[in-house]
Amino acid sequence: MASSQLMTEYRQWLTFQRQEQLSREHQGIVQRLEDARASANQVVQAYRSMAEKASIEGACYRTIFLRQRDDNYALPCEGWLFVRRMLSEGNSTRVRVTLLETFTLEDGILAPGDKPARKLTLEIFDQLNMDKGMRTNVRVDCLDTPQDYHFITLLDAVRGDLRPHLK
């Protein structure tokens, strides 16, 4: 086997390893949010805090989200979110963000700026789950591209050096 083919297969293996790690991480966080019975109001407050820090410090937060593929199979992707502003109207809360993708199965690991930043609108809501006895679960879904949904943004993973890549 040629060394270039061996390296290509090794990089592909690393990409699949990272995909599996993100799948387990997303599943674990979803379960912890369900166990904690997190509500949309709590998540809205977290996003408000992210928006404040973004405007003052240029903070971007690590996010993991699901992307529906053409075969209707959803896989987690990873990126950094810059929260631009919050829009609350009645019982609806929308968040304007800029997303820098840093991992997809198709592209593998990406450095910030390898793909252009995308401006998105996310919606925060409580979803009724009939499987668990009428419990509600908090969801954050993208309104612009319905194939991107179930965003989980981590408050403890923050960077302030990504502003040049957000344009």
- For residue 89, the model assigns a pLDDT of 82
Label residue 163 exposed, middle or buried (CB < 10 Å: 0-12, 13-18, 19+): middle
Least confident stretch, 7-11, 98-102, 135-139, 142-146: 135-139
- For residue 111, the model assigns a pLDDT of 94
Question: In 3D, which of 86, 67, 92, 70 has the Cα closest to residue 78?
Answer: 67
What mean pLDDT value characterizes the chain?
92
Q: Where are the alpha helices (DSSP H) in the chain?
A: 3-36, 40-57
What's the average model confidence in pLDDT over 17-22?
97
CA pair distance 22, 53, nearest whole angstrom: 26
**pTM for this entry:** 0.90
User: Cα 28 to the chain's mean position, in Å?
Assistant: 14
What's the average model confidence in pLDDT over 128-151?
85
Q: Residues 6 or more apart from 67 whose CB is under 8 A from it?
A: 74, 75, 76, 77, 104, 147, 148
Question: Among residues of the chain, what percentage have pLDDT more than 70?
Answer: 96
Q: For residue 3, what pLDDT band results from cuts at 50, 70 and 90? A: confident
pLDDT higher than 90, residue 13: yes
- For residue 52, the model assigns a pLDDT of 95
pLDDT higher than 90, residue 90: no
Label residue 133 exposed, middle or buried (CB < 10 Å: 0-12, 13-18, 19+): exposed
CA pair distance 135, 37, nearest whole angstrom: 9
- For residue 32, the model assigns a pLDDT of 92
> Six-digit token pair at 47?
């996003």
